[in-house]
A and B are shown apart, each in its own frame.
Chain A
Amino acid sequence: MITLALIFFPLIASILVFLSGNNNAKKVALLGGLVQFVLSLVALSKYQVDPSSLAVNQAWLTSLGVNFTVGIDGIGIVLVLLTSFLIPIIILSTFEREFKNAAAFYALILFMSSALIGVFVSYNLLLFYIFWEAALIPIYFIAGYWGGEDRVKVTFKFFLYTIIGSLFMLVGIIYVYLQARSFDYTTLSALELTCSQQGWLFWAFFIAFAIKMPIFPFHTWQPNTYTTAPAAGTMLLSGIMLKMGIFGVIRWLVPISKAAFLCNGDIVIVFAVIGIVYGAVLAIKQDDIKRLVAFSSISHVGLIAAGLFAANELSLQGSVIQMFAHGVNVVGIFFIVDLIERRTGTRSIKELGGIINQAPLLSVFFVIIMLGSVALPLTNGFVGEFLLLNGLFQYHAGLAAVAGLSIILGAVYMLKMYQNVMLGESNEVTSNFAPLTLSEIIVLTVISATVIIMGVYPKYFLDLSQADIHSLVSSHCSSASCIK
């Protein structure tokens, strides 16, 4: 039941927010987000007692023999936690901004959180797909309506691009349904297919996930969209939404395409690794901070993707924890960018500088989150990156070495950005930089604390998904076959 509550509570909350009027919307939304977070903690406690108690199986579409099957496993719980943890933070992060039609804005955020949770708990492929697409619509409107310059074109491209990917997946879904006569997770993972069937299915699903993440070279929508979307939208996109793609690979691509997943790993990893270096290199010379972070995100996600397809226990475990870590970090960075932009009216690195003189506290948070992002040990970024690189290294040492360049390049662009934005003498743009407000301090404190706590004691988070990853690896990744 708690699983259903997790899905539907935000939906109801979203309607309430919409009805509460523009003036109260943000408070009601925050309350909704917090309740949702509490719900997810309840789910977590239940999960630790008995994961199967979270499963729900209801008849739904008798015409297709589809049941409404949801449940939470070790990987799902991490992402559910991430979602319900970040949503209130994202809502709180907007407290200093005034939006036109605020009620709609916050309602869309909550609606999106409902869809996102749905994606992470679905054990039915059709249900998954519906939530998958449903998550896209609110973010499209958020980015398109409240976004910045050139929003219409950019967000529409993003919308189309991701939908195109999803439609390929839809073909795959239909096909696999007809093979199994079921959308059910267990049935599908037991399905035996021929090699070529698996191959086609792999690519059909992969393109959807690759665009969502995005993996090089399907990424071109991403920098523009991140740059254009309002901060909250960018946070949703980068913090949670791209995890849908990664999660999709773990939940569906691995069990469905089986052998094809393993034998296509090479190609995908090569592209992912290219993306790691490519994103990092391109980030270096960006002048717009948001765009810089967007490229850095391509780099980070490339590593997660490479780890996914390396498909060993270390790399998968790494990718799961890195999903959480990346979500937290990137939200933090985008929040900092937003509050700088709000105060100075610019995101141009060239125009900024010396903010530390006015807001030393901000620089502390900035450094902590930045360190998380460059994967310094004892921050959350390190654990994931270490496991991912290690797993990738087990897969192919050379690729891991190339991927490891991100350790260097990440420091290059991040430090460059930090230096040019925060350090040095203040200039006319930054000299009137107002100190942080309470809501900003709360957001940044929570994020920074998470960065450090996860980094210092990652075992708790790792243990959540350990068992499920182990069984996934042993059942699908170590050996998979197809009918010749």
Chain B
Amino acid sequence: MKELVKFIPLLPLAGFLVNGLLNKKMPKTMAGLLASSVMAFAFIISFSTFLSIKDQPNASFVVNIYDFINVGSLKIPFSFLIDPLSVLMMMIITGVGFLIHIYSMGYMHDDEGQVRFFAYLNLFVFFMLLLVMGSNYIIMFIGWEGVGLCSYLLIGFWYKNQNYNDAAKKAFIVNRVGDLGFILAIFLIFNQFGSVQFADVIASASKLGTGSVMLTAITLLLFVGATGKSAQLPLFTWLPDAMAGPTPVSALIHAATMVTAGIYMIIRSNILFTLSPTTCAVIAGVGVATALFAATIGLAQNDIKKVLAYSTVSQLGFMFLALGVGSYTGALFHVMTHAFFKALLFLGAGSVIHAVSGEQDIRKMGGLKGKLTITFITFLLGTIAISGIPPFSGFFSKDEILAAAFSYSPILWGLGAVAAFCTAFYMFRLLFLTFFGTFRGTEEQKHHLHESPISMTLPLMVLAVLSVVGGYANIPAVLGGGEYLAKYLAPVLAPTTEYIAAHGHKAHLSHETEYALMGASVVIALIGIILAYVTYVAKKAVPAEDGAELGFLHKLILNKYYVDEIYDAVFVKPLYALSSFGYKFVEVSGIDKLVNLTSDSFVLGSKVSSKLQTGNVGTYLLLMVIGVIAILAYNFSRI
């Protein structure tokens, strides 16, 4: 098994290389098949790895590939850590990735850049696998930046459109802001622990003591990294824009895998966070704020993918809320379920877009359920799952988070519940506007409406099944579940568990409370659904056209709280202005002027000294005599 593990990332890499190097020479259909098959193999290996290590307490192992960097005390092997956490992530990545590859074969069928697309996708999977498999922070960082690159390449996949390119650039740059935090954290870790290996860091973390400044700094910086990659406040703005990429990309990268990297990273370093309550509080706060913030924006969006994007941001906020309140399992659980249903939703949306010839505005859709039956059903299942209706997967994962949040602070629970309400509302609003009512697009679009090919619907069905049953991986004990995921992850979370066991300050909720909370959240979701139904099905309301008069609040959320505009005014414009100013006034008229002034002063001196050379012998003789006098005077003074 150990030997095969290194093939998990190598397979997609090989796929990338073959597709990438052959590019034009590669037959289009072959490209998809190749890319998908390497994913299939990778998944098979991941799955068998999973089988081999599950239920075994000390099954994790490290695979060394080669020494990456060895400088002085800094030793960074290129090695993979195979443990329950990474294997789970690998399965999600390769599994969901495989499905999306399959889907893409249909979705991208007519695109001329198909080969390139699959090459990028494979490359992305490669980096994502590096991210989760790396046994130290550097390898993780390699993957971390690599997925950012692929995200950049895929968002700007249709490079002729400069708006898409802008979105890609924005994604990369905002991510880099986070990356800076991450890499500074790595420096701190190295300087503190003398190693960047997870094992070493975790082993010596507790020596620093709870709440030490150093740990807080490290974790805060790590969290900054996570906010970038996982689109949290204040660095979330790139994710909605990232929808410019092809829809499978949105599904794979911007919903299921890459954006959860931040959560993975925090779970990976869980003990560090457990030891710094301040950071945890910050994370919880940011998480819930993001969840709420994005959810409210989602209420008023009209672009099918934008709604899903804000939903993703919001769901990621939930995950961070979970991390902040110490429920690492809950977070990962939600990562998993979210991967299923959000991938499903995106792919469904892709199917819809495919059907309506590229239209993304839900105001111009409607009544599609008849024509796109499979898409509709699967999309419905996904929507229910995300809204948190039992027994769909989303219910369990979200409920676990909300329960943990409640035990941490009821206020957090309250805010989370509001976000959950919004989620249910806007998701069903989306569903209703898209599939119910009558078609609002052009006649031509109507004429073209068709269900997607099997390569696209098959992944939808598989994901739909997973979205429905995914929750069974970790049914809470209170509902008679085995909390399988928690047990599976126990070795990874052992340091945290031990620490809590030793300090014992985690209050357990009573069963009654848990039941109450569950009930409350279901009720809240249902209210949201009903409200959406009333508004968009019963009243047949359609969101206002662009430019219509709107209330202040509506306008505010429709324009996403003007965050982009604010960032533009606060960061982008000043930076550009600074650049122009710096060049004109500091560089050219400042430093360079000063440099030139030095040489000019010599020229000036030259002009002055030239004046002495009058051409008049009398003057020369006088000057000579003055010289003589000066020397003799000097001599006289020395006597």
Contacts and interface: CB of A to CB of B under 8 A. Distances in A.
Q: Do these two chains really belong together in a complex?
A: yes
Given A282-B582, A371-B149, A459-B68, A390 B74 contact: yes
Interface SS of B by simple majority: helix
Interface size class of B (residues with CB under 8 A): 35 or more
Given A412-B173, A466-B71, A390 B190 contact: yes
B528 to A, nearest CB: 39
Contact of B579 (A281, A371, A382, A401): A281
A314 B159 CA distance: 39
B183 A386 contact: yes
Contact of A285 (B145, B149, B579): B579
A390 B187 contact: yes
B79 to A, nearest CB: 13
Contact of A423 (B162, B183, B187, B190): B162
Given A383-B69, A423-B156, A424-B165, A376 B149 contact: yes
Interface stretch (B101-109, B544-552, B587-595): B587-595
A304 to B, nearest CB: 15
A27 interface: no
B160 interface: yes
A356 B172 contact: no
Given A285-B583, A377-B146, A220 B183 contact: no
Contacts of A220: 587, 591-592, 595
Contact of A393 (B184, B586, B592): B184
A187 interface: no
A378 interface: yes
B191 interface: yes
A415 B169 contact: yes
A376 B145 contact: yes
A481 interface: no
Interface stretch (B174-182, B376-384, B411-419, B560-568): B174-182
Contact of B69 (A161, A357, A459): A459
A422 B365 CA distance: 36
A387 B173 contact: no
B111 interface: no
Contact of B142 (A317, A378, A389, A415): A378
B634 interface: no
Contacts of B191: 393-394
A463 B69 CA distance: 9
A176 B66 CA distance: 46
Interface in B114-148: 138, 141-142, 145-146
Interface in B495-538: none
Contacts of A400: 184, 187
Nearest to A291: B583
A281 B583 CA distance: 9
A407 B176 contact: yes
Interface SS of A by simple majority: helix
A458 interface: yes
A12 to B, nearest CB: 38
A149 interface: no
Interface in A4-26: none
B575 interface: yes
Interface string B162-204: 1001100100110011011001101110110000000000000
Contacts of A161: 595
Contacts of A284: 575-576, 579
A377 B142 contact: yes
A453 to B, nearest CB: 13
A278 interface: yes
Nearest to A394: B191
Nearest to B113: A360
Given A220-B587, A412-B173, A160 B599 contact: yes
A286 B160 contact: no
A52 to B, nearest CB: 24
Interface string A191-202: 000000000000
Interface string B437-448: 000000000000
A65 B74 CA distance: 43
Contact of A278 (B68, B162, B582): B582
Contacts of B618: none
Given A356-B159, A416-B169, A458 B576 contact: no
Interface in A197-244: 217, 219-221, 223
A404 B183 contact: yes
Contact of B160 (A357, A383, A389): A357
B575 A412 contact: yes
12 contacts: A220-B595, A221-B595, A223-B587, A282-B583, A376-B149, A389-B183, A390-B187, A404-B183, A411-B172, A419-B162, A422-B159, A425-B160
Task: List the 4 shortest-distance A-B pairs measured between CB atoms, nearest first.
Answer: A377-B142, A285-B579, A393-B187, A313-B72
Interface of A: 157, 160-161, 217, 219-221, 223, 278, 281-286, 313-314, 317-318, 354, 356-357, 360, 367, 371, 376-378, 382-383, 386-387, 389-390, 393-394, 397, 400-401, 404-405, 407-408, 411-412, 415-416, 419, 422-425, 457-459, 462-463, 466, 470
